[in-house]
Structure 1
Amino acid sequence: MVEMFERLELAEVTAEQIAPLEALIPKGWPDTWRDLAMSHYLTLLSAPGSSAVEPPALAHLAVALTLGIAQDLGGTQPYIPVGAMLAASAKARRAMELLGQRCSYREVADATGLTESRVRQIETEWRRQQIAARQGQLPL
């Protein structure tokens, strides 16, 4: 099983770090493709062991992954659930732990580096998961 790891956020990445990816993205690419390529690239840059791979190679992989998604799912609008990522996210788990200790949204945000709004989103998604888990066990 692949373990989740802390991922770089776009705001944490310099223009120099993004340059290898930007150099590969052709003009005219749809915004969605750009977003997907950037997401792949940030994940690849953050992955354990990625420091052994040159950023241009990671950028090529990000573009290849994006083109693969475009080929496989292009023309559709897939729903990408947050639940699996939420459960694996260390920050999300920590946020829920602090909320369970009756910390305020502001305290949780300060402790985790998230915004209050993001803490509320995490809590909402967690509640949805809990309700879905309980309802899945109800006899019909």
Structure 2
Amino acid sequence: MLNRSILIGRLTRDPELRYTPNGTATASFNLAVDRPFGDKETDFIPVVTWRQTAEACANYLRKGRLCAVEGRIQVRNYENNEGKRVYVTEVIADNVRFLEGRIQEKTEDQIEQTKSDTGYSNYPSSDDDLPF
């Protein structure tokens, strides 16, 4: 049997980092993933990460950032305050890839400084300057 999910989408909020009572890091966030067919619809998928992956996500991911998540789908349930059974479906991620590089976060001054430091004048300052 196989339970694997691979998603590419944008964070809808900053990751929320917490620690279990025994000190294990866990982070959760929602990923907005567009459907590739029909009307333009988006699914908002809850993602949970653990340990070093959780800390890396909390440190480097922010709302709106593009990332890829690989993991397994998990369905859990609990009884809420009104006594009703609540089911939660989420992706437990064991691999998260940050798909946007740091160049996109650089200011024009930082790009000019990089050009002068490296002597490389063809350093692209925007996506429009890329040769492909």
TM-score normalised to the size of structure 2? 0.24
- Pick the structure with greater CA Rg: 2
Which has the larger share of helix? 1
Which has the larger share of strand? 2
